[in-house]
Every structure is written in structure tokens, then in C-alpha cells.
Amino acid sequence: MKAASIEPNTRASRNGKKIEKLVMRLLPGVVFGDGKFDAKYKGKHLEIKSCVESAIDRSHPNTQCRSGRFFFKEAQHEALTEAGGEYLFCVHSEEDPADPIDPVIFVRVPAEKIQLSAFSDGKSVAWTKVFRMVI
């Protein structure tokens, strides 16, 4: 694995653990470990997606950054939609690794509202595009 790809993966893993703690604080009664999905809340399957508000991307010459992205798996998206489940989206700012995550945006959305164009395996979608679908 290339060194450049280890840092973002490590950061994503660390942020995922922080997001779980945040979810437990903001959604009392959430139950993690729901089999196919991340959790269950008020009887509904819940898939938790998080990303940074903006990420460094030197391919954007004017801004040097882009919107963070949520990663979707096709089979999981279809299963969550069929089960009447929900996504919990959390957009957060990049912060010190020792600090807890403070969400910029934290919202539950029925999976059926997320209309993704055809894809196989996985797909990354900017959080701004996802939120235009639901707001």
C-alpha cells in the first residue's frame, strides 16, 4: 500500500470511531451491530456515513480543495432501500486527532431519497450533491 493512501485511510478509521461516539450522544437508544448495517434506531436500519466538509485536492487550481465525499456500496444501498432504512449523514470539519468531532451537518434521511446513478461495487459522491437530493 502506498504511504499516501495510508494517511487518509487511518484518518477515516479514526473519524469513524469518533462518529460512533457522536451518534451515541445525539441518538440515545441507537444500537450498533445490526448485521448488514451499522446500527438500528427506533426500529429502522441505519447506515452511518461521514466525511469532512472539505478536503485538500490540488487538482482544483483555484481552491486547492473539494467537498468531502460519502462512499456508497451498491448492494448495501439497495438492501437498505428495500428494508425501508435510513442513512445518517454527518459532515464535519477537519480537526485535531485528539479532539472529538463536532458536526457541521448531522441528518437522518430515508435511503429511498438517495437516488444514485447506476454503479457497481462502490461509488464516492460529494456531500453537496447528496444534500441537494434531500434538501
Instruction: Judge whether residue 132 has pLDDT over 60.
Output: yes
Q: How far apart are CA 127 and CA 9, in angstroms?
A: 18
Domain count within the chain: 1
119 has pLDDT over 90: no
Lowest mean pLDDT among 3-12, 70-79, 95-104, 107-116: 3-12
Print the domain residue range for 76.
3-27+34-134
- Decide: pTM greater than 0.75: yes
25-78 pLDDT tens trace: 899 999 998 688 999 999 999 999 998 887 777 676 676 778 888 999 999 999
Question: What percent of the chain lies above the pLDDT cut of 70?
Answer: 82
Inter-residue contact 70 to 89 (CB < 8 Å): yes
CATH number, position 70: 3.40.210
Asked if 110 and 67 touch (Cβ cutoff 8 Å), the reply is no
